[in-house]
Amino acid sequence: MKFAMARGELALDEFGRIARYFAPLAVGEPGALGLLDDAAVLSVGEGERLVVTMDALISSIHFLPSDSPKDIARKALRVNLSDLASMGAVCRYYTLALAIPKSWNAEAVEAWLAEFTAGLAADQAQFKISLVGGDSVATDGPLSISITAMGTVNGDAYLPRGGASVGDDIWVSGTIGDAALGLVALSEQWPGLDAAAREALITRYRIPEPRLSLGAGLIGHASAAMDVSDGLMQDLGHVARASGLGAQVEFDRVPLSVAGRAVVTLVGEEDARQHVLGGGDDYELLFTAPVTEREAIARIAAVQDVPVCRIGCMIDGQDVIALDHDGEPIALRRTGYAHA
C-alpha cells in the first residue's frame, strides 16, 4: 500500500500517515499484512468467486466541497457496496486511492483525514469489510476518491444484469428520487419545503443505504439486477439492453418517500417526476423477476425489513418508457446522469 505525501511540509511522512490513519482500518484482516507490503494476499474459500467493483468520486461532481469528510467517506464506500449488493455478493475487502489537492495546507490535510477515516471505520464495522490497500497522491485538481470493493458469491450464484425475460416484473427497493431531490434542496431552490423533509432528502443524497442483505436474498429469485445510481430510467435501460428487451414503468407505482411527496405537493408532479425518473444517487436495487416469484420476493423483503415495490414489466422491443396516469408516455428531459 502506497500513500505518498500530499505536500512536502506535512508533519507525518508516508509511513507515519499509514500507521496513524489507515493501518487501524486493516486490523483483524491477516491478508492486509498490516498495510506494510505492496499488495494484499486474500484467501477466497473453495467454491467462492471474488466480485470486484470500483467507483470514483470527484469533488463538486459526486459530492459537495462543503460536505463533511465523514459523510464523503461513507458515500464513497457505500456506492461501491451498492454495486456488490446488485450482484448478490457478500462484501469482503476494499482498496482506497486519494488525490489530495496541493492547495490544502498540512493542518487541513490532517484534520480532513482524521474525520474521513473515522467515517470509513464506522462503515467498516457496520458492513464487516476491511481496507487492504491503496494509494494517495497530490493533485492540482479537485479532491478525488476512488474505491475498489471486493465481495464473494458462491459459484455461479449471482445476480446478472441481462437475465430478464418478457413479462418479468420490474421491482425497486426503498423509495426513488430522494437523492436527486435532495441535491436540488441543497441549492435552496425550494424555500417553501418543510425543514424536516429537506433534511431527509439531503441525507439520502449524502449517505446512501446499500441493500446488501436484500441482494443476497434475491439470488435464485430475481432474473436481473443492478443498482439505481445514474437514474431510474437510464439504469432500467441498461437492464433492458443487456436482456435484449424493452421495459415499461408506471409512474404511479414508483415508490416515493414522505419527503418526496412533499416536493410533489410543492412544485407539482410534472417537475418532480423529472427528478424522480431521471435523477441519480438513489442506490436502491432495481431488479426483475418472473411473476411466479412475487410471493417469494415479498417474503424475502419482509425478512430483510426492506420495502420493495413492483413498478412495471419487461416487454418485447427496445423501448424503455414511463407512463403517466392516463397510460401516456412521459417525455423526459433526461433519463439519467451522463458520464463524460
Instruction: To the nearest 10°, report the CA torsion of 319, 325, 331, 337.
Output: -80
Helix 258-267 and helix 178-186, axial crossing angle in degrees, nearest 10 = 60
Grid cell of 217 as nine digits: 436474498
Q: Where in the chain is the domain with CATH 3.30.1330.10?
A: 2-154
Quick one: pLDDT band at residue 36, thresholds 50, 70, 90?
Answer: confident
Residue 53 has pLDDT above 80, yes or no: yes
| 3-state secondary structure at position 80 | helix
Condensed to tens digits (0 to 9), the pLDDT of residues 183-216 reads 999 987 788 899 999 999 999 999 999 999 999 9
| 3-state secondary structure at position 279 | coil
**What is the predicted pLDDT for the residue at 201?**
96
Average pLDDT over residues 328-339: 80
**What is the predicted pLDDT for the residue at 2?**
46
Confirm if 335 and 233 have CB atoms less than 8 A apart.
yes
For the 2-154 domain, the top CATH level (class) is alpha beta
Average pLDDT over residues 74-92: 96
Residue 63 has what DSSP assignment?
B
**What is the predicted pLDDT for the residue at 336?**
74
Degrees, nearest 5: CA angle 151-126-77: 55
Residue 303 has pLDDT above 60, yes or no: yes
Confirm if 81 and 210 have CB atoms less than 8 A apart.
yes
**What is the predicted pLDDT for the residue at 159?**
93
Out of 249-258, 268-277, 300-309, pick the least confident: 268-277
Quick one: pLDDT band at residue 320, thresholds 50, 70, 90?
Answer: very high
Q: What does each C-alpha distance from 281 to 45, 65, 76, 185, 202 come to in angstroms?
A: 33, 17, 12, 14, 11
Q: What pTM value is reported for the model? A: 0.89
> Is the sign of the CA dihedral 52, 231, 199, 197 positive or negative?
negative
Instruction: To the nearest 10°, report the CA torsion of 105, 110, 114, 120.
Output: 70
Q: What does each C-alpha distance from 317 to 59, 111, 246 come to in angstroms?
A: 39, 54, 5
Condensed to tens digits (0 to 9), the pLDDT of residues 260-278 reads 999 999 999 888 999 999 9
The residue with greater pLDDT, 155 or 206, is 206
> Is the sign of the CA dihedral 165, 166, 169, 171 positive or negative?
positive
Residue 5 has pLDDT above 60, yes or no: no
Q: Where in the chain is the domain with CATH 3.90.650.10?
A: 169-323
Percent above pLDDT 90 for the chain: 80
Name 224's bridge partners: 288
In the β-sheet with 130-139, what is the strand arrangement from edge to edge? 2-3, 130-139, 90-101, 144-154, 48-58
Out of 33-47, 208-222, 225-239, pick the least confident: 33-47
The CATH superfamily holding the domain 169-323 is PurM-like C-terminal domain (3.90.650.10)
Phi first, then psi: give them for residue 136, nearest 5 degrees. -145, 135
**What is the predicted pLDDT for the residue at 338?**
60
Amino acid making up residue 274? Q
